[in-house]
A and B are shown apart, each in its own frame.
Chain A
Amino acid sequence: DGGITQSPKYLFRKEGQNVTLSCEQNLNHDAMYWYRQDPGQGLRLIYYSQIVNDFQKGDIAEGYSVSREKKESFPLTVTSAQKNPTAFYLCASRLQGLNTEAFFGQGTRLTVV
């Protein structure tokens, strides 16, 4: 089945540690996105990428880093510089084009303990 897979579903991190969230898609989509969602809030864009080896900062990139070494993979690292990392993280992908929709993974809930 084609789709977008995020792992793990739940992640616990100690303060001061970096942690990497996985996002893999087999839809052959060019564009991939990372969003953060806080309780009762909408989605805020962290990073996005249109092609391999290229990515752009979104609205809240500070404290995060990404890589795009393969078309199907777009991992997100939450660094110790991120002051409030506890949140629900969503990855999405879409075909290039004017009005093509994005498909989302099921999210990773990160909790700092």
Chain B
Amino acid sequence: EDQVTQSPEALRLQEGESSSLNCSYTVSGLRGLFWYRQDPGKGPEFLFTLYSAGEEKEKERLKATLTKKESFLHITAPKPEDSATYLCAVHELTGGGNKLTFGTGTQLKVEL
């Protein structure tokens, strides 16, 4: 069964202070890794899909990368509006179909 572990659990940054969030996973065969952003009291919002080791995706101040064992979400020069919980998920093909397993998330707080 897939295991998805995110670190750190919480991260506090000053505006403009770049950093990275980590998502490590154990799967028998990766069929997709997803990054989501979640604001308090809301449903998660899709950010990126990564499928192959070496793949990179970018969106504004966010860049996601993927290796065979982990994914990183790099945040460059963050702003307060980037404050949210960032979740990663892996797609696993089971006997019953397509299971999507989430990590516990990283709570990011960006301060002025």
Contacts and interface: CB of A to CB of B under 8 A. Distances in A.
Nearest to B9: A40
Contact of B34 (A41, A59, A88, A101): A101
B74 to A, nearest CB: 20
B22 interface: no
Interface string B28-68: 00011010100001111110010100000000000000000
A56 B107 contact: no
A42 B91 contact: no
B97 A31 contact: yes
Contacts of A33: 100
Interface residues of A, number: 32
Interface string A13-57: 000000000000000000101010000111111001110000010
Contacts of A41: 104-105
A107 interface: yes
B87 interface: yes
Contacts of B96: 48, 50, 56
Contact of A101 (B46, B104, B107): B46
Contacts of B83: none
A90 interface: yes
A92 interface: yes
Contacts of A35: 102
18 contacts: A6-B43, A31-B97, A31-B98, A40-B107, A41-B104, A42-B104, A43-B44, A43-B89, A56-B97, A59-B101, A92-B100, A94-B98, A98-B32, A98-B91, A100-B32, A101-B34, A103-B46, A104-B45
Interface of B: 6, 31-32, 34, 36, 41-46, 49, 51, 87, 89, 91, 94, 96-105, 107
Interface of A: 6, 31, 33, 35, 40-45, 48-50, 56, 58-59, 88, 90, 92, 94, 96, 98-107, 109
